[in-house]
Structure 1
């Protein structure tokens, strides 16, 4: 996915059970994704955010 901060970087999140770190994604009835845990970029723009029900929630 593209970083929601607007920097244009591509973010790859590992979803397979054996990966570390890894994320879980769920899709609700309206096809909105939620991703846990939060995404915290350690380089580049250093964005830190959650995606819940298709919306980006920024961590402060």
Structure 2
């Protein structure tokens, strides 16, 4: 996915069960994704955010 901050970087998140670190994606009845845990970029723009029920929530 593209970083939501607008920097243009591509973010790759591992979702395979054997991967570490690993993110879990769930889809609700309205087909909205939730991503757990948060995404915190350690390099580049250093964005930190959650995706819950299809909405982006920035961390302070």
Q: How does 1:48-59 map to 2 (within 5 A)?
A: 48-59=48-59
The offset of 1:29, in angstroms, is 1.0
Task: Tell me the equivalent position of 2:9.
Answer: 9
TM-score, structure 2 as length reference: 0.96
Aligned residues: 60
Runs of 4+ in 1 over 3 A off after TM superposition: none
1-side partners of 2:33 and 2:3: how far apart?
15
Is residue 34 of structure 2 the alignment partner of residue 34 of structure 1? yes
Note the aligned Cα RMSD (angstroms).
0.5
Q: Which runs of 5+ in 2 are unaligned?
A: none
The offset of 1:9, in angstroms, is 0.6
Deviations 1:14-39 (Å, cap 9, x if unpaired)? Answer: 00111110000001111110000000
The offset of 1:2, in angstroms, is 0.6
